[in-house]
Structure 1
């Protein structure tokens, strides 16, 4: 359940507006570089921005991420992979802020940069973000094609554990789209495929900068998918199977509680809904 307002993912509307305006100017090349262009410092700055995102540090992120983009663009020659990662984070943030028009620009830029450096994981992730935007636009068939085509790419299959984890993220995204299409059986089949990939990975928390991928995150997507399919009872059953401590970030744990709140709201459970929102 999203709160009302211009930017549902950020509690302070003014902070949401500030984030969008700064990201817009940085994306359009209207912001002057404001940090060190040392490659190691730039990489550390992006890592810090990812931590801000995972922990909900939006005030810090409003300073750090636009500054990173402007400075990274000024480096000659530019680090295409580092910039691609920056634009992937930008896209995820803009999606949460419901700024789809600017999100399309950031996602397409991430895809071009990932293609330029030949990084299979970043390229597949750009397809996943484009699919999210397509789903939000109501283009469900295109969203499914983007995710499932990217998941079958030979380069991604050859990318080891990160590539397998990204395949899982793509397939669970496809499952969510299937739920929006009114295809719960297809959604559960795809979710089971993603869960099998997660269970086969030897590392517990893959792709933390992309939201994380492990059995708990697959189950979290199932919660959201059952909710989107209009089945709040199944949503709550799936949610109760998750230990929130196994989710990789504050952002993911908050998503769990808001999905639970939404399910309770649909069933008319006012007190349980409020409790879940407060937990989020």
Structure 2
């Protein structure tokens, strides 16, 4: 009896944020934690599953649009619900289409976990995505699972393993048989390996692989491909990659040059524009250009307020600015809205 009461109480607590309209008017500084908690519970099979819908592909499209637009308040409802529904639809058999959609949902969750520095949950989501993608025979999702696995290995400091995962996946023969999309995935995987070399301090190797990714993008004719997998691959997104890669390799001047070559309006999503502004803010910080750094962070907030207020990397930069020099009303306001204390 005690056990049943305890489980009932825990279930009620878990369900509470989902009552009413389903969307909580949460403090944006806490949206990341809310989203992570709901995804964790959905992955653990906790909470009440929504009725499985045959329109799950439409639900995924909407969740992807929320991610691209940095609408994390909406995503905190939609993506966990999508994962629960996906499991309900695949519970009684290995439906190829549903397995593929659930794999993509887990990959979207992984991208969110990476943003929120939730590596343990990221490993779990990526492994599930890989298994589901292999069951479905979805070559693109298998390759994207490998890319996310390489990202997580790099974050863990396993640089050799991250390189091996990304480059082995890029060379897989299956990618060469699916046309332009396969080439674009290869480009994203090469970029991932390039960034790992940057983190390892190998500037020449990073630039060599970045040039290889740029060559692949050029061969594809300049179109933005893979919006529903890696967030887009094109010559412009390779240029965006250069900002963070040059920063990590220790050359913020080269990173700033790369940033100047980008038109933010041409980037394929709000999420990509926000990421670019975040990378540019880091560049200014490393160059000691404090005012430009704050100005860029404020531009990022105008572009994507929920991401700016929720993302740990941005919070860390704001916190550093608060203690490293004179503050301004604008910086203190941004810190307050982001839940950062001096």
Q: Same fold per TM (> 0.5)?
A: yes
Q: Is the Cα–Cα contact under 8 Å of residues 168 and 213 in structure 1 kept in the other structure?
A: yes
Q: Corresponding residue for 2:15?
A: none
Structure 1 unmatched runs, 5+ = 1-9
Q: Corresponding residue for 2:88?
A: 74
1:86 aligns with 2:105: yes
Match of 2:211 among 192, 209, 214: 192
- Cα–Cα, structure 1 residues 11 and 241, in superposed 2: closer, same or farther, change >3 Å? farther
Q: Corresponding residue for 2:131?
A: 112
TM-score, normalised via structure 1 length: 0.93
Distance in 2 (alpha carbons) for counterparts of 1:111 and 1:13: 31
1:246 aligns with 2:266: yes
SS at match of 1:138: coil
Please state how far the C-alpha of 1:245 moved relative to its aligned partner. 1.9
Match of 2:48 among 19, 23, 32: 32
Aligned length in residues:
269
SS at match of 2:182: helix
Q: Corresponding residue for 1:274?
A: 294
Match of 1:129 among 140, 148, 155: 148
Q: Corresponding residue for 2:232?
A: 212
Q: Is the Cα–Cα contact under 8 Å of residues 33 and 70 in structure 1 kept in the other structure?
A: yes
Q: Corresponding residue for 2:275?
A: 255
Distance in 1 (alpha carbons) for counterparts of 2:296 and 2:246: 17
Distance in 1 (alpha carbons) for counterparts of 2:221 and 2:49: 40
Please state how far the C-alpha of 1:17 moved relative to its aligned partner. 1.8
Give the root-mean-square deviation of aligned CA atoms: 1.4
Q: Corresponding residue for 2:30?
A: 14
Q: Corresponding residue for 2:115?
A: 96
Deviation string, structure 1 residues 252-273 (Cα, Å, up to 9, x no partner): 1111111111111111111111
* 1:153-192 aligned within 5 A: 153-192=172-211
Please state how far the C-alpha of 1:120 moved relative to its aligned partner. 1.1
Q: Is the Cα–Cα contact under 8 Å of residues 168 and 197 in structure 1 kept in the other structure?
A: yes
Q: Corresponding residue for 2:63?
A: 49
Out of 104-113 and 193-202, give the one that drifted further.
193-202
Q: Is the Cα–Cα contact under 8 Å of residues 35 and 67 in structure 1 kept in the other structure?
A: no
SS at match of 2:48: coil
SS at match of 2:194: helix
Please state how far the C-alpha of 1:43 moved relative to its aligned partner. 0.4
Distance in 2 (alpha carbons) for counterparts of 1:151 and 1:85: 19
Match of 1:64 among 78, 82, 89: 78
Deviation string, structure 1 residues 50-70 (Cα, Å, up to 9, x no partner): 000010100000000000000
Please state how far the C-alpha of 1:203 moved relative to its aligned partner. 6.2
Distance in 1 (alpha carbons) for counterparts of 2:269 and 2:278: 14
Q: Is the Cα–Cα contact under 8 Å of residues 52 and 86 in structure 2 kept in the other structure?
A: no
SS at match of 2:49: coil
Runs (4+) of structure 1 moved beyond 3 Å?
none
Q: Corresponding residue for 1:7?
A: none
Distance in 2 (alpha carbons) for counterparts of 1:15 and 1:136: 23
